[in-house]
Structure 1
């Protein structure tokens, strides 16, 4: 898990942003990602400006547009990485915490830092980590009637930003915290799963 030195829980909840002491590597890593993807977006724009729009250049034009959009999306995700997303709920805070812990167990997360207002859900994130265990961490803060959460990633060479799983996690948490939510049926075999699906 990424080192979150002296994470300030109350300040993080009040400001809706992770408040902690960043290490030098994390600062350098952030600057590197900003610089690299800003340069990529800039070069892509310059090349796009010089390409004539025609059927012959459609493939190149499409690739460059996709590269520009991807660069912008990476920069946006990195910029908002420390900002906490809010999901309100109407169930009790204890019930919300219980459901999130059960969700973590069901999806084989390593659950840590469980306290009155905080839970960390850790999962392996880098299959090419060459023996070093790297993780993606979902940090969940609890207010009286809402959770505040963000996802941060640790890698061997770079703490690259989370691109897709933040949207999947938001969808899961919204379902999980809905008053009508029921635990999914555990289907142990293909045979049982086939007959439950009918």
Structure 2
């Protein structure tokens, strides 16, 4: 689990953004990720102009380079919006919602930590082949008739953004929190 030093759950709920003290390593990680995705996009964009339209071998580049640019832009966006909390509204009482979320965590083999009045951490290992104890953490903030959540990931050297898990989690939560 990534270290979220002095996580302020009340300010996080009010601002709909994670509020915690970032270390200088977190900031280096953030800018390194940005640099990697920008470099991938820029080099792919520059390579598109080097493609020879008359060569049959180079036409593959017309498909590969735009794909790399799109993936880089999407990963950049995911890292940029990683601390933003997504909201799901529902019509049940918040205590019932909390119990359903905890049951969901138990049923899906999440390691549940930090259970408080308005915050639950759901942790899951990122990779079985990894040489560390790295996890993907879902932070769930519980409000009256809604939850706010985000998913952050810890890696070996870089904390890469979560690309698609937040969409799967959101659809599962909507299903679970329906009347």
TM-score by length of 2: 0.95
Q: What are the superposed Cα offsets for residues 89-145 of structure 1, whole Å, 9 maximum, x if unpaired?
A: 001101110000000000010101101100000000133321x20000000001111
Distance in 2 (CA, whole Å) between partners of 1:54 and 1:177 is 56
- Deviation, 1:173, is 0.7
Over alpha carbons, which structure has the higher Rg? 1
What's the Cα RMSD here?
1.3
Query: Structure 1 residues 157 and 127, CA, compared in 2 at 3 Å: closer, same or farther?
Result: farther
* Aligned equivalent of 1:69: 70
Q: Which runs of 5+ in 1 are unaligned?
A: 180-198
The 5 A counterparts of 1:158-173 are 158-173=158-173
- Deviation, 1:54, is 6.2
Report if aligned partners of 1:126, 1:155 keep a CA contact under 8 Å in 2.
no
The 4+ residue runs of structure 1 with deviation greater than 3 A are 52-55
Distance in 1 (CA, whole Å) between partners of 2:153 and 2:54 is 41
Q: Which runs of 5+ in 2 are unaligned?
A: none
Distance in 2 (CA, whole Å) between partners of 1:166 and 1:155 is 17
SS in 1 for 2:161: coil
Distance in 1 (CA, whole Å) between partners of 2:54 and 2:153 is 41
- 1:29 and 2:29 equivalent? yes
Distance in 2 (CA, whole Å) between partners of 1:20 and 1:165 is 22
Distance in 2 (CA, whole Å) between partners of 1:148 and 1:91 is 15
TM-score by length of 1: 0.86
* Aligned equivalent of 1:18: 18
Query: Structure 1 residues 99 and 58, CA, compared in 2 at 3 Å: closer, same or farther?
Result: same
Q: What are the superposed Cα offsets for residues 70-101 of structure 1, whole Å, 9 maximum, x if unpaired?
A: 10010000000000000000011011100000
